[in-house]
Amino acid sequence: MAMQNIYDNQTFFEGYMQLRENNANANELFEKPALFSLLPDLTGKAVLDLGCGFGDHSKAYVSMGAASVLGIDISENMIQEAQRKNSLPGITYIKLPMEELDRVEGTFDVVVSSLAFHYVKDLAVVLRMIHEKTVPGGTLVFSQENPLCTPFSEGERWTRDENGNKLYMNLSGYGHEGERKTRWFVDGVIKYHRMFSTIINALVEAGFVVERMNEPLPSPELLEKYPCYSDLLHKPDFLLVKARRS
């Protein structure tokens, strides 16, 4: 399976790490609280973190009581950063694409994936592997870029008024699923667009029951502090799903 490993591009990696160091980023304000709110009780659980990145989440799962966390990521840069910054007894980090999850031994009570599924070409195949690795009754919680954002590849993302204020997002090609090449720190970043129905049907066909979905929006208090996030009222940036292995 063809896979891009963009986080090992040094320019991309440095840009991304800089973004994450700013505490007012959308991950910290919206995605992470929404993801954590969907987690079951992790006490004593075996957790798998797919696309673990630099390991902040894996470490948090241990502090929430997880007995063990296995973090896997396709990027050498990210795994090195995770080992340097977020090593704890109970956590193991492995450099491995999630498309090769069948090479991992054992099963997990809880599988979590934060903002990595939109880099996966064949999500249906990966979900079937996750199902194999999840204990019966176990939980999958994931976030990804919202399907209203993933159709975009180039051009102007917003239609604006004469003062430059955003009026609405330019959405096209929603029904044309598949690869998109975008610019994010560097040219040629590959992501995959899937419709909402495709994502949910792939979960169901893999053997999961969807329990909850979330598209986090800014609260009035947050908007007062960070008015730039009013964009999210036009279209949410993230989609989060909690599913149970039936």
Ligand X SMILES: C[S@@+](CC[C@H](N)C(=O)[O-])C[C@H]1O[C@@H](n2cnc3c(N)ncnc32)[C@H](O)[C@@H]1O
Q: How far apart are CA 146 and CA 127, in angstroms?
A: 18
Among 17, 56, 200, 211, binds ligand X (CB under 6 A): 56
Bridge partners of 50, per DSSP, are 72, 113
Based on the shown chain and the rule CB under 6 A, indicate whether residue 229 belongs to the binding site for ligand X. Answer: no
Based on the shown chain and the rule CB under 6 A, indicate whether residue 57 belongs to the binding site for ligand X. Answer: yes
Based on the shown chain and the rule CB under 6 A, indicate whether residue 240 belongs to the binding site for ligand X. Answer: no
Tokens of 137: 């009754």
- The site string for ligand X over 119-158 (x = CB under 6 A, - otherwise) reads xx--------------------------------------
Nearest distance from residue 27's CB to ligand X, in Å?
6
Among 29, 38, 78, 199, binds ligand X (CB under 6 A): 78
- What does the DSSP assignment read for 109-151? EEEEEES-GGG-S-HHHHHHHHHHHEEEEEEEEEEEE-TTTTT
Based on the shown chain and the rule CB under 6 A, indicate whether residue 115 belongs to the binding site for ligand X. Answer: yes
Q: How many residues bind ligand X (CB under 6 A)?
A: 19
Based on the shown chain and the rule CB under 6 A, indicate whether residue 237 belongs to the binding site for ligand X. Answer: no
Nearest to 118 by CA among 246, 237, 243, 223: 237
Which residue reads 């599988």 in tokens?
A: 111
Nearest distance from residue 125's CB to ligand X, in Å?
11
Burial of 10 (0-12, 13-18, 19+ CB in 10 A): exposed
Contact region with ligand X (CB under 6 A), list: 39-47, 67-75, 130-138, 213-221: 67-75
Based on the shown chain and the rule CB under 6 A, indicate whether residue 116 belongs to the binding site for ligand X. Answer: yes
Q: How far apart are CA 208 and CA 211, in angstroms?
A: 9
Based on the shown chain and the rule CB under 6 A, indicate whether residue 75 belongs to the binding site for ligand X. Answer: yes
**Nearby residues of 84 by Cβ (< 8 Å), 6 or more positions away:** none
* Chain residues in the site for ligand X (CB under 6 A): 3, 7, 51-53, 56-57, 73-75, 78, 97-99, 114-116, 119-120
